[in-house]
Structure 1
């Protein structure tokens, strides 16, 4: 337990360090899935490691220490007491951060759905009369299908072929449930702040994924790149950070990627990233076994 319990934290740093490389070298759809799964597993293992560190305080309860000494047993000391104590406020901070992140995600979706209120349930495209050029994919909820919200300002800024790109892009977000992926990574980064770079990379990748889907749908990568560039140049204020908007997240890099052509899957790098996400869980599992033996020794 002296080493395993810290493994998820160390691997969080490593995953954060390699996530930009994965985002640049691996096809967006595969890279987004792999990084999301790895981030969720790593964040869960990190939180559990904090729980294990805090649980070692049980072995420092004076009554249990005295009982162990009376029985001729040496009280175990798997981790320094200061670290075990620090794990308690760290867990409270994690709870607050996850709550705030979940509330922000829920609030953004509620606000976007309110803009679509009054439209028939089977309406996919909602056009809002606003000069501000914006477009969002609004995920479904409670049996209500997802919708595409586009302002009149955005439609006026694009040519007919570019409008098809826009709709195909937002439809890809809904089809592949990118909102769930973004939410999962946002909560993982809230639980483990070391994973913040992974969240940024996944946010970029889901937009690249939708770009590629749009390019396939219209059959023209040049038109897709032009639509993205034009939307970015005419867009006004930034959309909510939780929303899946068309002209956001490193538009220049996305345009360049569309012009360069699709990336290969690179399965070896993707598999290595998945393995990196599984290692923290294995380390936390081994630390859990050590803690159970510790508690058996203290309480036995």
Structure 2
């Protein structure tokens, strides 16, 4: 445990470094999935490592441990006490950050649901009379697409089909869950914030590719995105998936080239970056269990 417990924290530095490269080189659908999975595994492993590090304080807490020491059995602290205290404080911060993120997510989803009140349950498309050109997917059961009248008026009929195909892709592939998972991982481990940004960009790229396939014209998809971006307002709901959000220039450029390949070996390597910290955290847990068992039995 003396070394394994720290390595997940160090490995969490690697994922943010590789995520931009993966986002550029691998098909967005595959890249978004593996980066989100790796981020969640890494965040869970680093949080568990913090929990294990707090065991530096265990010698002063459970009566059974104190009794073991009174009987002359030696219980070596697995880590220095000062590190245990620091880990305990960090764990409290992680819990607070995740709690705040969950509260913000719930508030935003309630606000979005209120926008859909009064519409039949089977209504997919909701058109809101608003001077702000907006279009976004609202995750849920059922998922909805909210488009303002200003956005519809700014687009040609073919471009409206692109917009709807884009938002339907968000709902069909549950992009909201991926973004939420990446967001919570970044809240648990701030080092993963760049990964969260990459995942959010990738789900937009994923929806762009789905829209291009649906309408059969990548150039028309790029034009629709460009026109919508030129007329879109800046205010956007926090957890909604917006048609014109996230690095529009890069997305338009990507649509003007061939779709990126599915590089499965690279994707597997990224996933391994998430699995390895989890395995090391498990090994550190086993070391701690053996240490306590040897003393208390």
Q: C-alpha displacement at 1:62, in angstroms?
A: 9.8
**Conservation of the 8 A alpha-carbon contact between 1:136 and 1:149:** yes
Name the SS of the counterpart of 1:238 in structure 2.
coil
CA offset digits 1:15-44 (Å, max 9, x no partner): 111111110110000000000111111111
RMSD, aligned CA: 1.6
**Conservation of the 8 A alpha-carbon contact between 2:155 and 2:224:** yes
CA offset digits 1:57-116 (Å, max 9, x no partner): 113559777655554443313211111111111111111111111111121121111111
Residues 245, 111 of structure 1: alpha-carbon distance in 2 compared, 3 angstrom cutoff: same
Give 2:289's match in structure 1, choosing from 289, 292, 296: 292
1:261 maps to which residue? 258
1-structure distance, mates of 2:238, 2:202: 15
Query: What pairs with 1:119-158 in structure 2 (closer than 5 Å)?
Result: 119-141=119-141, 145-158=142-155
Name the SS of the counterpart of 1:96 in structure 2.
helix
2:280 maps to which residue? 283
1:111 maps to which residue? 111
2-structure distance, mates of 1:30, 1:66: 52
Mind listing any 5+ residue stretches in structure 1 that lack a counterpart? Answer: none
Q: C-alpha displacement at 1:273, in angstroms?
A: 0.5
Question: TM-score, length-normalised on structure 1?
Answer: 0.95
Q: C-alpha displacement at 1:295, in angstroms?
A: 1.8
Q: C-alpha displacement at 1:50, in angstroms?
A: 0.9
Query: What pairs with 1:132-211 in structure 2 (closer than 5 Å)?
Result: 132-141=132-141, 145-211=142-208
**Conservation of the 8 A alpha-carbon contact between 2:154 and 2:228:** yes
1:94 maps to which residue? 94
Mind listing any 5+ residue stretches in structure 2 that lack a counterpart? Answer: none
**Conservation of the 8 A alpha-carbon contact between 2:159 and 2:220:** yes
CA offset digits 1:224-245 (Å, max 9, x no partner): 0111111111111231232100
Name the SS of the counterpart of 2:6 in structure 1.
helix
Q: C-alpha displacement at 1:56, in angstroms?
A: 3.0
1:274 maps to which residue? 271
Please say which of residues 165-174 and 72-81 is displaced more in the overlay.
Answer: 72-81
2:222 maps to which residue? 225
2:57 maps to which residue? 57
Number of residue pairs matched by the alignment: 297
**Conservation of the 8 A alpha-carbon contact between 1:137 and 1:148:** yes
2-structure distance, mates of 1:70, 1:110: 56
- Is the counterpart of residue 48 in structure 1 residue 48 in structure 2? yes
